[in-house]
Amino acid sequence: MVKADAYRVGMVPVAQALASDGADTFFVARLEEGSRFACSRPGREFSSSTAWRRERRPPLIAHRLTPVLNSLDEIAEWSHAAVARKASLDAGLHIDTGMNRSGLSHDELQPIGFAR
């Protein structure tokens, strides 16, 4: 996680240090951070844990950011974007592990094949 400019240490130098130790995926909290960061570190994967909104789809795709999806509706929208582009679009899934703050619930996981 390199959000908030890596907590004021510097997102790019922290990412460089992490990359030199083998890290290849970096998380940011806001789309703006991801867009700026992706331009400075081409070829790396960046995930945005920012709250999903439909209008964020084009910049996520343009900057090759991987969104973290929190609901079945978000999964459906991202899937529709992939179908419309005739492309594969990666995504992370945020799963509620019991804290009940955000993420897919156990009941939501069953229809997409993640239930026990």
User: How confident is the model over 32-74, as pLDDT tens digits?
Assistant: 787 777 766 655 666 766 666 777 788 888 878 888 888 888 8
Query: Rounded to an integer, what distance in angstroms lies between the CA atom of residue 31 and that of residue 39?
Result: 12
**Average pLDDT for 75-101:** 87
Spatial strand order in the sheet of 92-93: 25-28, 45-48, 65-69, 92-93
How confident is the model at residue 57, as a pLDDT?
A: 83
CA count, 13 A, side-chain hemisphere, 88 = 1
Asked if residues 40 and 63 have their Cβ atoms less than 8 Å apart, the reply is no
DSSP assignment, residue 112?
G
Mean pLDDT of 63-89: 89
Whether residue 83 is predicted with pLDDT greater than 90 in this model: the reply is: yes
Instruction: Round to whole Å and give the CA distance between 44 and 52.
Output: 21
Percent of the chain clearing pLDDT 70 (strictly above): 84
Domains of the chain: 3-112 (3.20.20.10)
Considering the entire predicted model, what is its pTM?
A: 0.74
Q: Supply the angle between the helices 31-40 and 11-20 in degrees, to the nearest 10.
A: 60
Q: State how far the Cα of 56 lies from the Cα of 86, in Å rounded to an integer.
A: 19
